[in-house]
Structure 1
Amino acid sequence: MTAHVSLYVHGERDRFVSQRLRETGIWEPYESELVLSLLQPGDVFVDVGANIGYFSVLAATRVGGGGRVYAFEPDADNYRLLCASVHANGFDAIVQAEEAGLADYTGTATLYLSADNLGDHQVFATDERRAASDITLLNGSEFLGARVSRVDLVKIDTQGSEYAVVKGLMPLLQSPAETPALIVELTPLSLRQGGASGRALIELLAQLRQPLWIIDHVAHRLVASSAAELAQWCDDVDAVPGDAGFMNILVGQAP
């Protein structure tokens, strides 16, 4: 990966993304390479659950002045750091950041805040006691459809609300002649806690009729899969109480 950027990060309270960036300067190396390889100058990238803006800023280095990045982050602290990083790198004209999440409707919701993983806020309550804040949600197709003629890559990492995000984006995803690629986090436990399921998400993504790949972060490779195999994996995880197993998947052509 050849992109070099400056990022504002959280302090010691965050023990995950910000801590890793402070220690190593990179987050999810293989996925970072994948995002860069899937984008070209002039492309449109949509970052749903942008957190502090790592992938949004990274993508901006690739799409350049002729491209566009739409970054959605509902948490006020994360959004502040995202905007600071965008400005520090001179990407204000490329990145449009929205202090909002995406869903299958436009309205408000409650965000339940993790105390030590500031990228693990959720729009649903669990048995875990968390502070909460009110946030804005946007229907992805309605918001983006009024602003872009095409989307090239969508990254969705929303801690269990991925089904609602994809459902809201489906009219946009199915409308162009060439369906954009998607990178989606798949966590059956969180999806079930959020009122959906891993199987439901896979069956929804399968409607796009695109190749499906498991993103292997260890071996740094894409592993071809199928909707049936991924749905069965979700069922297997769901069969084990409390299993928080997850994977990231690519929907679309491999780079």
Structure 2
Amino acid sequence: MPPEEAVSLALPGAGSRLSLVVHGDRDRCISRQLRERGIWEPFETALVRAALLPGGVFVDVGANLGYFTVLAADGVGAEGRVYAFEPDPDNARLLRANVRRNGFDARVAVVEAGLAATDSTGQLFLSPDNLGDHQLFAAGEARRQVPVRLLHGADYLATRVTRMDMLKVDTQGFEYEVMLGLLPLLRTLPAPPRILIELTPLSLRQAGSSGRRLVELLAGLGQPLWIVDHIEHVLAPTSAAELARWCDNVDGCAGDAGFMNILVGPSPL
């Protein structure tokens, strides 16, 4: 399939009016699922769609080719705003193309950068066959590298947003650094955003942090915690202690790459 060909999204209640340009056959993950099914992570998709209303603000950290960016831009409408951060130049090109093809340029700011705890530069280690699995750290594999820009999230967004309805963070192990940089802003907002975030203890540890540290940082926001059960399509209530113990157990098994998505904040369903 040529990389410039687009697929229509098959979203419940949205018809086929949204479409995305996808990666070519080299990508075995997100683009393959979109070609075959027209949808990615159906339950997470439902959560994002339920959480956003016209006029809302969505921040997408690790936007990849723009699946959740486009969903969010559709949900927040012409009066809303989406900030999409993607450090990989090839992914950012597709991200911009997908925002444009759906007519969302006026409501989406595409930022070709990653978020971190400080403004800096970094190296992005590229996966050859899962183009959503690029990493901002070396994990011992032989991967091609590209230099990327990193931004302190709170500093960048402080003059741009006065509210944040939902924050999605999927950065392949760099989530602790992202959240550390965003916390000063989140603590000043009139209401905390819902946060949809990946929790992968192995990748977090490889990046120099840990699952426990990320859980404890998120728990400091004082919001409900949920495990996103994408098999049963339910939100399972949990606690910081339970999540931290799970992270410790995963860390205790060498090479265990177990992961889950968690939601911080009230259930939108």
Q: Normalization by structure 1: what TM-score?
A: 0.99
In the alignment, structure 1 residue 64 sits paired with structure 2 residue 77: yes
1:21 — aligned with what?
Answer: 34
- 2:10 counterpart of 1:2: no
Determine the structure 2 residue equivalent to 1:91.
104
Give, in whole Å, the separation in 1 of the partners of 2:189 and 2:74.
25
Give the Cα–Cα distance (whole angstroms) in 1 for the partners of residues 111 and 234 of structure 2. 32
Partner of 1:124: 137
Distance in 2 of aligned mates of 1:106 and 1:253: 31
Deviations 1:146-188 (A, max 9, x none): 1111111000000000000000000111112311110000000
Structure-1 residue corresponding to 2:212: 199
SS in 2 for 1:167: helix
Shift of residue 232, structure 1, vs aligned partner? 0.4
2:195 equivalent in structure 1: 182
Q: Is the 8 A contact 2:121 2:150 kept in 1?
A: yes
- The one-letter code of the counterpart of 1:108 is T
- 2:236 pairs with 1:223: yes
* Cα distance in 2 between the residues matched to 1:39 and 1:174: 20
* Partner deviation per Cα, 1:14-62 (whole Å, 9 max, x = no partner): 0000011011100001100100001111000000000000000011110
Structure 1 residue 107, shift from structure 2 partner: 1.3
How far residue 127 of structure 1 moved from its aligned partner, in angstroms, is 1.3
The question of 1:169 aligning with 2:182 is answered yes
Which residue of structure 1 lines up, in the alignment, with residue 9 of structure 2?
A: none
Secondary structure, aligned partner of 1:111: strand
Query: Counterparts of 1:221 and 1:154 in 2: how far apart (Å)?
Result: 19
SS of residue paired to 1:7: strand
RMSD: 0.6
User: Within 5 A, what are the aligned runs for 1:100-111?
Assistant: 100-111=113-124
Cα distance in 1 for partners of 2:30, 2:168 equals 16
Please list every run of 5 or more consecutive structure 1 residues that lacks an aligned counterpart in the other structure.
Answer: none
Q: Identify the match of residue 162 of structure 2 among 126, 130, 149.
A: 149
The structural deviation recorded for 1:11 is: 0.3
SS in 1 for 2:19: coil
Pairwise CA distance, 1:2: 2.2
Amino acid at match of 1:42: G
Q: Write out the 4+ residue segments of structure 1 that deviate beyond 2 Å after TM superposition.
A: 1-4
Match of 2:4 in 1: none
Give the CA deviation at 1:126: 1.3
1: CA distance between counterparts of 2:151 and 2:250? 30
Aligned length in residues: 255
Map Cα deviations across residues 191-211 of structure 1 (whole Å, 9 max, x no partner).
Answer: 000000000000000110000
Structure 1 residue aligned with 2:126: 113
Structure 2 Cα separation of the partners of residues 85 and 203 of structure 1 = 36
Tell me the percent identity.
Answer: 61
In structure 1, C-alpha distance between the alignment counterparts of 2:189 and 2:66, rounded to whole Å: 27
Tell me the distance in 1 between the aligned counterparts of 2:99 and 2:136. 25
Amino acid in structure 2 at the alignment position of 1:242: G
User: Where does structure 2 lack aligned partners over 5 or more consecutive residues?
Assistant: 1-11
Q: One-letter code of the match for 2:155?
A: E
SS in 2 for 1:59: helix
